[in-house]
Amino acid sequence: MKLMSAHIEDLKSLYIQNLQKALDMEQKITSSLPDLIEASSDPELKNAFSTHLQETRGHVVKVESLLRQHTGEAESETCKVINGLSTEASDTIKDVTDPSVRDIALIGAGQQVEHHEIAVYGTLRSWAAILGLSNDALVLKSIEEEELNADEILTSIADTVNLQSGVPVGAY
């Protein structure tokens, strides 16, 4: 339950608030990716999560920079969606005992996070363009493209991992 109003007065305020949520999202992903790396048994999946961890650390820096340009500080605001997705991923790690099935579940959890990030950055990029913040739009587009690429990589790995575990491709 929210105790205080955020006082969203205009698109710029909404944009800043959502940048703050994006920062929280990226910080939480940076904290949770090591658990996914450790829980993965497929070497390609471990590598994909490790690579994306490095990208995510870069996303934190980029979003912090955007916030500092607009507000003078890089404060975050809680992203409730990523809290739920992180909880789901943690539960999956605990609940699934077969390594190949766990890898499939981790890929699914990772893709859910990627899809949320793609939506967040696509929205922020559009708002930045409307606000005439062309530099912001370019930065946000670069992050969005990395998220799209991470999702494509996970899809590719899923095809292989599903075959290895006996789950037919296209059955998910």
pLDDT given for residue 6 in this prediction: 60
Backbone region of residue 72 per phi and psi (left: phi > 0; alpha: psi in -120 to 50; beta: other values) = left
Alpha helices in the chain (DSSP H): 11-39, 43-71, 80-95, 99-130, 134-165
Domain boundaries, the chain: 11-164
pTM of the model: 0.90
Distances (CA, A) of 9 to 91, 94, 123: 38, 43, 18
Per-residue pLDDT 10s for the chain (172 aa) are 344 556 788 999 999 999 999 999 999 999 999 999 999 999 999 999 999 999 999 999 999 999 999 999 999 999 999 999 999 888 888 899 889 899 999 999 999 999 999 999 999 999 999 999 999 999 999 999 999 999 999 999 998 887 666 655 554 4
Give me the pLDDT at residue 1, please: 39
pLDDT at 172: 46
Question: Phi and psi of 74, rounded to 5°?
Answer: -120, 65
Q: Which two tokens stand for residue 109?
A: 């959890």
Residue 36's closest CA among 116, 121, 117, 94?
94
**What is the predicted pLDDT for the residue at 3?**
45
- Thinking of the domain 11-164, which architecture would CATH place it in? Up-down Bundle (1.20)
CB 147 within 8 A of CB 118: yes
